[in-house]
Amino acid sequence: MRSPDVAAFDLTKPVALTLIAVLQHITDDSQAFDFIARLTEPLAPGSALAISTVTVENDPDGGPGTVRTYNQNGVPVVARNRTGVEALFAGFKLVDPGVVPVHHWRPGKEDQGVNDKDVYMYGAVAITH
């Protein structure tokens, strides 16, 4: 059964599904894969899936201000590495530049000079087959 809000979309045509800062709160990978599968199953070929999620890979100190802060405040979070984020796109074709720190995905002037160490999010967009 679909929500009336979702039923308003014509899913016979490509749409974009954005999971921005969502999957970091699904700490079990198998649940994250299931969540993505359930949401993307009704989408038409050519639909886009955009994901951003927490990482600490770019911070040699392990991201003390990110994951620990969330978890200490009762908000479960998992940081995924690049390989883990790429796995979330299984069955999709990643759009260039693939999984990168979010400020490297189609960077604008405001992204110039941003230190990778200060960005704790990977992001990517992929297209369904």
* Whole-structure pTM value: 0.88
Q: What is the pLDDT of residues 70-107, one digit of tens each?
A: 888 888 999 999 999 999 999 999 999 999 999 999 98
* Separation between Cα atoms, residue 93 and residue 46, nearest integer Å: 10
Task: Give the chain's residues under pLDDT 50.
Answer: 1
**For domain 12-105+114-128, which CATH number applies: 3.30.360.10, 3.40.1170.10, 3.40.50.1980, 3.40.50.150?**
3.40.50.150
Which sequence spans correspond to the domains of the chain?
12-105+114-128
pLDDT score for 62: 60
Pairing of strands 121-128, 16-20: unpaired
pLDDT score for 33: 97
* Separation between Cα atoms, residue 54 and residue 66, nearest integer Å: 8
Find the length of the chain.
129
